[in-house]
Structure 1
Amino acid sequence: MMKKKNMGMRILAAILFLGFSGIVMFSIYSFSSENGFDSQMRSEMVTEKIKEEVKTKLETSEKGLKLSEKIKYKVIMYSPYGSDWNANVRKLAHFSIYFCLAMMVYITLAILGVNKTLRFILTIGFCFCFAFADEYHQAFSGGRTSSMTDVYIDTFGALVSTCIWTILSWVLNGIGYVIHTINKAYE
């Protein structure tokens, strides 16, 4: 049972993380509202900036050049989009933004005291439903298409985030239990 003096802080923290969730959701919705041309131009600009950063940071030394070539090789071999860097960056953006959304939702539910199993299910379910609705909405933006592949990538990003936060929660609870047990033994 939560102590009353902590309840106000928990509610404030939950509202804060709920606000962060809203910001991420608004960002997703805004990106999906762009017409096809603007969306393509934005992602190409980001892709070129990433290529430039890789060239500047990695390819200035022999070791960095080898790492850069290894990364390029792995991406081309294992990505379904091969050497299409723009498509890879776009899909990574899908994964990443839903990773963040799941993190915010999961933390909000944790602060509210929702048990881990239900928190896990609600987070994944919410992110899947939002991804599905967003792809449906995107179909009505000029020059855009909706894709179940994007929904799967979004949900996978949410799943990875939720798994990480669930494992972290177990570890922290385990550490807390050990500390509590040690403190009880010395009382």
Structure 2
Amino acid sequence: MAVSVMAAILLVLLYLLIFAFSGQNGEESGSLSAMISEKCAELLNAISGKHWTQNVIDSMAAYFEHPIRKLAHFSEYACMGVLLYGVWRPWKERGWKLYLLIVCWVFVSAGADEFHQLFIPGRYGCFADVMLDTCGGAFGLLVCACAEKMVRRRKQKSGF
């Protein structure tokens, strides 16, 4: 029960974070993505020890920007899948009905997020992002289901 309450609190915070990111206009969102992409390119440069010029770093950052944005979508909703599992697992028996409930919840949440973006200047809603987000949520759910299965097996082997 305590896990469920903590997951619910974290889920609300995640929804607030997603809503805040979705509420950024196109310029704000783009500059945040560009900054993160540039930091990733600078990190890659530092790790590689290549000492790239600023032009190379800028072109790498531009190359990274789209995949990083999509990875962020996937990751946010993977966290949502994990948290929804934490919220619902104590109340619903493990199985396909629980999994379907969570995936549908993620799908509706992702659709609402993309719908919200239709009203933000410089932003647009994209069904492909809804599907990517839903895949992220399903991945988070899969991680939880696999972890729970491993814990159950370990407990059975140890006799608990």
Q: TM (normalized to structure 2)?
A: 0.86
1:39 and 2:29 equivalent?
yes
Q: Which residue pairs with 2:113 in the alignment? A: 134
Q: Distance in 1 between matches of 2:72 and 2:84?
A: 18
Q: Which residue pairs with 1:84 in the alignment? A: 63
Are 1:44 and 1:86, in contact at CA under 8 Å, matched by a contact in 2? yes
Question: 1:24 is matched with which residue: 14, 19, 32?
Answer: 14
1:123 and 2:113 equivalent?
no
Letter in 2 for 1:29: F
Mapping of 1:36-185 within 5 angstroms? 36-57=26-47, 59-60=48-49, 84-180=63-159
Q: Quick check: 143-152 or 107-116, which moved more?
A: 107-116
Letter in 2 for 1:119: L
Are 2:22 and 2:116, in contact at CA under 8 Å, matched by a contact in 1? yes
Of structures 1 and 2, the larger Rg is shown by 1
Following superposition, which runs of at least 4 residues in structure 1 exceed 4 angstroms of deviation? none
Are 2:11 and 2:83, in contact at CA under 8 Å, matched by a contact in 1? yes
Are 2:114 and 2:126, in contact at CA under 8 Å, matched by a contact in 1? yes
Q: Which runs of 5+ in 1 are unaligned?
A: 1-9, 62-82
Q: Distance in 1 between matches of 2:96 and 2:131?
A: 21
Q: Distance in 1 between matches of 2:73 and 2:93?
A: 27
Deviation per CA, 1:128-186, whole angstroms, max 9, x where unpaired?
11000110011101110100111111111111111121111112122222333xx6xxx
Q: Quick check: 167-176 or 123-132, which moved more?
A: 167-176
Q: Distance in 2 between matches of 1:84 and 1:166?
A: 35
Q: What's the offset of the Cα at 1:112?
A: 3.4
1:13 and 2:3 equivalent?
yes
SS of the aligned residue for 2:17 comes to helix
Q: Distance in 2 between matches of 1:122 and 1:55?
A: 43
Q: What's the offset of the Cα at 1:113?
A: 4.8
- RMSD of aligned C-alpha atoms? 1.7
Q: Which runs of 5+ in 2 are unaligned?
A: 51-61
Equivalent pairs: percent with the same residue? 25
Are 2:3 and 2:86, in contact at CA under 8 Å, matched by a contact in 1? no
